[in-house]
Structure 1
């Protein structure tokens, strides 16, 4: 873009103040003209006669015609002008004059956030990246906080990165950043500060940017000497340490009690920091949910008992972290439902009707563009930066530009109509608000402004549809058509989270007619058990026993099963037409079930944990606390304790991980244990209601696909080209424990990890028999050592580089004896396990 056109289509309002001289205003106007922009007006900051963002306010020129007061950008050195609040709510950039000058100097529009005159945006000079070994929940919260307070972020290191947030220098991003700093010529060109996440916490808590020196790695002075750094980040820097920096407090949140839901999956460190931020602004924090005392529920998703209870309350405010940060920034109490669409918990799964849609955007910039791309992603669509013929929709803010021209004039069908549907932002907003794919042909979606008036400044006025919200709160109106939801999870997207903007009530725009149109339950016993309970409750002793046991869902389940057996009808005990002798014979014919020790049946969750060393380390006390509420964490797989849950921070190839996949129905993140232990530690010495614990910490909220995107999980599982949720396919398969049941395999002695380990993994997955093959065998000796499957097929699992001689000998043997045989790499076994079905051999043949 040449200097002559960089401001084309931008309509400027200039705010004159004591800090801006007449000479500077002349320079501003000259720069705008050089960039082909338009100056709508120049006004004094304290002049409230005309609000240039209020379309109800009209002004006429000397000829009697209405003056255009439309504004897309404001230049000011202060925020003390009447349009400022509306500008923030409408996502209209407000910058100092330096933004103009640097854009003209560089011949391109530079990032406007760096030039925001609002002192509350203290991160405005920061471009942040977070190390990958921080908990995902913390990473999302850090990015949300940085954006809320005026900063930028990207989850990869770039030349623009100013701060890398990390616990240590052992992670990949820290190594790359350190290397770039050390290798930069004369220390110029690269200036990345690698700081502890506590720097972010403390800046947000204090409401200003503080010096990074004491937080810089590797020798962060703020760390308490002798305390180890753990990537989970238990709070080794106390909140009390803030007092030596500042002691500024506020009563803005006075008399408000906040409950932060566990679905944010925050570390103990960040949770403590968030608690401290609430308290320093006058609020209180509830560690247990109580609808009678909680005033504000902060959650990530529209799910869970506490979310539903909050929605049904007429008193509790429901919002998310982005909303909370925006309230702190603005120091203005705006209800989430009257605010930005992204300031309320989002649906946990995308819309089925959106999942195959590719959507591009044109003539929206900055926060507006980020806001729309986030809505598209949450809905389930794919946002594309570039427009191709594969796109289904183009969201346009005006009729200008190459994208709009191409979509509307060049790519036409046989009837001369655009192949790509063109709509404005209101279509996306209302699809999100009502959570359904709406008819895109409505007139209000086809308005793109006229003349200098564009629709970008009208963005952000749509509210969430309260009737649509009822489908998540349990209050769904039966007359309303249900929306379709998929079983796939929302991709873990954080790069475009909106946190700073809030929304005002929709205002009619009188300037044009089309602008007016534009605004125009978890536990349930079986029936037999319920009947049994009814009979036994006639006896008062049994009723007392029932009331006592009902406090524990685990004991309740065992009790219900016991009741079923005790009151089973004769027909169930001994089917009609069979005498007792025949019945006993039938029982003898049935395969005997393995009798488990009584202790093994008392646990609701029996889990194996692997790869979690950097997240959590459990001691005996922790294991005991978990066991007492029905969670058994095993050190290794044991036939005494069938497992149902695998705990890991990501998809792994460890022995424990692969063996566990033969049994488990859930794969969850270690934050599940971290959050529960945090709860147990805060209530130590008190009576624990395990049912309440499991309700508060729903295992579904900690599924691995809530922490890692489905896309990334699918890549690890070998499903990169599919849109299905590979994790769900894996855990819900019927092939657990019998995947290789029709095979015998030959395992090279050179396989990584050892053939014995490989054999144990495959045996857990149903392998009948395996032979370990030494890599020096050839000819007849090799043939004698091999084992074949029942279909006379030989399969050898070998190492690509270590077994070159064995592979050659095997292939020679196959050719000379006309054997049905194949040699594959270990990855064939792994990918078969990950997909829970036998992979074709051809992709893995050696």
Structure 2
């Protein structure tokens, strides 16, 4: 009769197996003392674990997972796995029993643990099966408290995420289910591999279901059959989520138990005798000690209680890629590489579905699991993404097979948007906040991050070569780049992977202030044969020799029909040549778009364009067609901007723009010229004062200097490309478009922007859009649209200027006899509201006001731009400069005077290429223009309110001062004169003191503007008497010390600062960096910054004499006097003591006064302590 335990369960034992079964025991603790012959602290026999494994193999247990309990057992398990590679795998981790050991070991313990994981993944990845055992066990709180267990559990999860270990989790949960779930769930979405096994699970059906719903699996052993609740849970586990284990040397099924009596009758027995431990015989089992030999017992109990058929627990033939199907895109792969990939996938039991390069399409795409491709440039790429099919580079196959684990597909994606996909970053001794930012950024951009240095690392980020990891990389000659963190920052800022060369240690160019040139960039491969939408020459087909040498790729025309659009305006001869070349490539010509696979046209308009686009056909322009003919390789026409039909009217908002370019040469220059015109703007080879934009590869050029003086917008090519790609005027207030990494030529990343598919569909061929019939001729419209803001403003401006006859700009217009109809409207160059000047007559005024009313939306956007630093997108200070020029003309007897450094008509271009034609300046033979006075002084102004709320007056005054040789700057790192009513503690003033500037009062500006000449600075010295009396030092001496220091007062200093300081962290960061130091944000987190004693070396420079009061061993934290900061202070003191330094927490006055005095000194009242803060409270 069945017992109550088995009441209602199957009563018959499974039949004896008809063939030898194969098993995997997923939990064995090889380092348990029982296997070493030690029981309750006494040695009874010699270690015999190898014999245990031999017995397991004899009964078909061909896979055994050796679980890691703590740090010191890793090497023991590794030695076993090395001896028995075919049978054993290991896990590495910290069991909750050993949480106290990890807690007490601290950072060093986790560092050593991570090092072991990384070394194993690098050198013997096939031996590492999972990370663990980690989790919670509240049945044994005597070993570790709940708090300690949770803390160690979280620390390990953090370590897995930060190292991007693509390993399943080997988890432990006993009597702690709620805390286990609460701790684990927040990490699941961050884990590189979202899978794991909760081993030796004993719980309810509801708890088991929670685990299954989270994507986890469970394994059972003898503990799972000791009560009815657990038995019912085992019965409810889905078969595909159930694994079996022995948990040896524990967890055995007692032979006298009801489960054993009912379900183990037919288990195959081998001639092994179990002896007592004190009568041990090598090769025999030990009574009361469980081992993998009994895995069959667990199998029978599991499946008999669930009333299932006998099942083979391990299918050795499955392979890593079993049940997965692959297609390989041949583009860019050699025959040998293609064959290698196919053989490797087949060897891992993957299924290869052949790709027909002649058709270029993947048949049965829905059946594909992975597409292997070096590029996203194949026809079915976006459809594959829609179907959630992984597209990975060939290296994904190599790395997955090497580690015997499938890698994260995102890290091997060929998507060009994931520009870090080939990058594996390791950081040296950087602050933890910086590391976290780098880790998040590289993972978001498709790269990988690891804490430990290994051979797979491509980039090591460090501040200097003294870092331990740098020394290891150099000594082992690892093939990686050692770069400053600035490289990664700049990559993220521009959204492209830029060259590492200027950031590479030991002598990074970006830190060399003496370098004034930026290296030239090689022509980007992305714009090869894609620089113009209208190629001038006939296409040149690929030669037979080149075709025979080229690797297999998607053929351009094979089996495809091409329709040539009417707007191509091809003559019969050229049409015949193109048709012949298409037919030679295996294609054909059709006159019906319905029959076409490819449609070629010039503009994004017309019924054929809309229909072909909506039907998903390939739509490109003549340049794209020539590319296909030349290379006989298919490429997506949206991949390159100049391969897709252009909008006939250009990009809305570009009307009236005049754009020039700087520091681009050769094909890059041609590409940008055509891109400007395709956007609908006017391209000018010469850079003039009436240009609205300058597209630059870097800022180290004369054009950029002139643009700054003329208030012309300086943008990089990313702005122009994005505007065209989205067919939308993008705001230049986006820092990505105005950022120029120092010592980097952005020409190296030219052409990497693709046409925005969603924006193009929405604007030009959405399903709700009716086709627009093409115009009969491609001529441009007679003028800008009626509701164009630029047009309205220029109309108002022209009428107004016709009345103001004394304006030099108006006189130039009359001399050249340019009418409004054929002239490009000049946008207003100031932001004070004068663009609303009305015409001279009432009728014209009414018409202008009416147009402005119609353009209300544009005006709102325009006024928003006006608030942006530097003015509106249309440029600088034209009216103010015109008036200055007019006054100067009268003062000099009627002669024209320029109002900027260069001629208002033309800049003599020092950075032009050989291909560029320089337009001759238009000069009045009767008028001789004087050259502008070169910059004599650069002045920074602080706390002078003369221009507050009056932008027009500010513009005029600054233009007048520039004519006198005084340039007003906001750059506090390059200042000759510092002007303020008195010594003030603003960021600009304090940071500028590092330049050693002359200190002048506001009277200096008064005199210059009143007398039209610059006075000697010493005649208008700043009144600093009260400041000097208060702080006890002379400002004149501070200036002398600044000249000695040369921006190096805090050289080699790392100063910490909290984010709660008055004025904000960035204020003090700028001041410290202006003086050559490094500022790190302190939030109380663990940091890897190396804080060492500073050695004052007199031979290092004159600045050393101004650091004499620096004790060298003091670590500073700038903070606010607030009790909320106390926790941060405590952790900061711990950091300082860890590095054998003295912590000193200071008020902001310490930095401000030291930076203003330009020598390091100390006053006790600057120090912050808890007692000081408490005493200050009322």
Common fold, TM-score beyond 0.5?
no
* Higher relative contact order, chain-length normalized (CA < 8 Å, sep 6+): 1
Which has the greater radius of gyration?
A: 2
Tell me the TM-score normalized by structure 1. Answer: 0.30
Tell me the TM-score normalized by structure 2. Answer: 0.22
